[in-house]
Amino acid sequence: MAPKRRHLLALLMVLGLVTAAACGSDDGGGVSGGYSIGLVTDTGKVDDKSFNQSAWEGAQQGAADIPASATASYIETEESKDYANNIQLFLDDGAKVIVTVGFGLGEATIEAAKANPDVMFIGVDQWQDDALPNLAGLMFPEATAGFMAGALAGMLTETDIVGAVLGTDLVPPVVFFKEGWENGARYTNPDVQTISTYHPGGLDVAFGDPEWGATTARQALDQGADIIFGAGGATGNGALIEVAGEAGALCVGVDSDQWFTVPEAHPCLVTSAMKLIDVGVAELIGQAYAGTMQGGNFFGEVGLAPFHDFDGIVTDEMRATLDDVMAGLADGSINPMPE
Amino acid sequence: MTTRQKQMLYVGATLIVVIAWTFYTADGPQTTAVLAGTVRAATLLVLGAMCGMIGERSGVVNIGIEGQFLLSAFAAFTIASMTGSLFLGTVAGVGMGLIMGWMLAAMAVGLKVDQIIAGTVLNIAALGLTSFFYDRSRSLGMGKYTNIDLGPLADIPLVGTVFFSRPPLTYLTMVLLVVVHVALFRSVWGMRTRAIGEHPGAADTVGIDVLKLRYFNVTIAGGLAGLGGSYLALEAVGTFSRAMSGGRGFLALAVMIFGRRTPFGAYAAALFFGFTTALQNQFQLNSTFDIPPQFVGMLPFVVTIIVVALSGLIGSMRDPAALGQVYEKG
Contact B121 A169 (CB under 8 A): no
- Per-residue pLDDT, averaged over A238-245, amounts to 93
pLDDT recorded at residue B316: 62
Contact B121 A22 (CB under 8 A): no
pLDDT in tens, B231-254: 999 999 999 988 899 889 999 998
B264 pLDDT higher than 90: yes
Give CA A339 to chain center in angstroms. Answer: 25
Smallest Cβ–Cβ distance between A197 and the set B241, B244, B284 belongs to B284
Query: Which residues of chain B lie closer than 8 angstroms to A242, CB-CB?
Result: 237-238
User: What DSSP element (H or E) covers A237?
Assistant: helix A233-244
**Interfacial A residues in 263-302 facing B (CB < 8 Å):** 263-264, 267
**Nearest-Cα residue of chain B relative to residue A224:** B29
Classify burial at B305, counting beta carbons within 10 Å of its beta carbon; exposed 0-12, middle 13-18, buried 19 or more: exposed
Query: Which residues of chain B lie closer than 8 angstroms to A45, CB-CB?
Result: 131, 242
Query: Which residues of chain B lie closer than 8 angstroms to A245, CB-CB?
Result: 143-144, 146, 238
> Strands A161-166 and A97-101, how do they pair?
unpaired
Contact B239 A237 (CB under 8 A): yes
Please name the CATH architecture into which domain A27-140+278-299 falls: 3-Layer(aba) Sandwich (3.40)
Q: A63-67, A294-298, B326-330: which range is least confident on average?
A: B326-330
Contact B30 A195 (CB under 8 A): no
Look at the domain A142-275+307-331 and name its fold. Answer: Rossmann fold (3.40.50)
pLDDT in tens, A131-159: 889 999 999 999 999 999 999 999 999 99
- From-to residues of CATH 3.40.50.2300 in chain A: 27-140+278-299, 142-275+307-331
B137 pLDDT higher than 90: no
Say how many C-beta atoms besides its own lie within 10 A of residue A53's C-beta. Answer: 23
Measuring CA to CA, which residue among A187, A118, A126 is closest to residue A155? Answer: A187
Smallest Cβ–Cβ distance between A208 and the set B103, B106, B241 belongs to B241
Of 1.10.3470, 3.40.50, 1.10.287, 1.10.238, the CATH number of B3-314 is: 1.10.3470
Task: Tell me the sheet residues that pair with A132.
Answer: A135
pLDDT in tens, B81-125: 999 999 999 999 999 999 999 999 999 998 989 999 999 999 999
pLDDT recorded at residue A120: 92
Contact A222 B136 (CB under 8 A): no
Query: Which residues of chain B lie closer than 8 angstroms to A25, CB-CB?
Result: none
Contact A224 B236 (CB under 8 A): no
| ipTM field | 0.87
Residue to test with chain B: of A179, A207, A223, most B Cβ within 10 A: A223
pLDDT recorded at residue A29: 44
pLDDT averaged over every residue in chain B: 88
Measuring CA to CA, which residue among B121, B130, B79 is closest to residue B103? Answer: B121
B213 pLDDT higher than 90: yes
**Nearest-Cα residue of chain A relative to residue B117:** A13
Query: Which residues of chain B lie closer than 8 angstroms to A20, CB-CB?
Result: 124-125, 127-129
Q: Which sequence spans correspond to the domains of chain B?
A: 3-314
Contact A19 B241 (CB under 8 A): no
Smallest Cβ–Cβ distance between A245 and the set B129, B144, B282 belongs to B144
Residue A4 — pLDDT band, cuts 50, 70, 90?
low
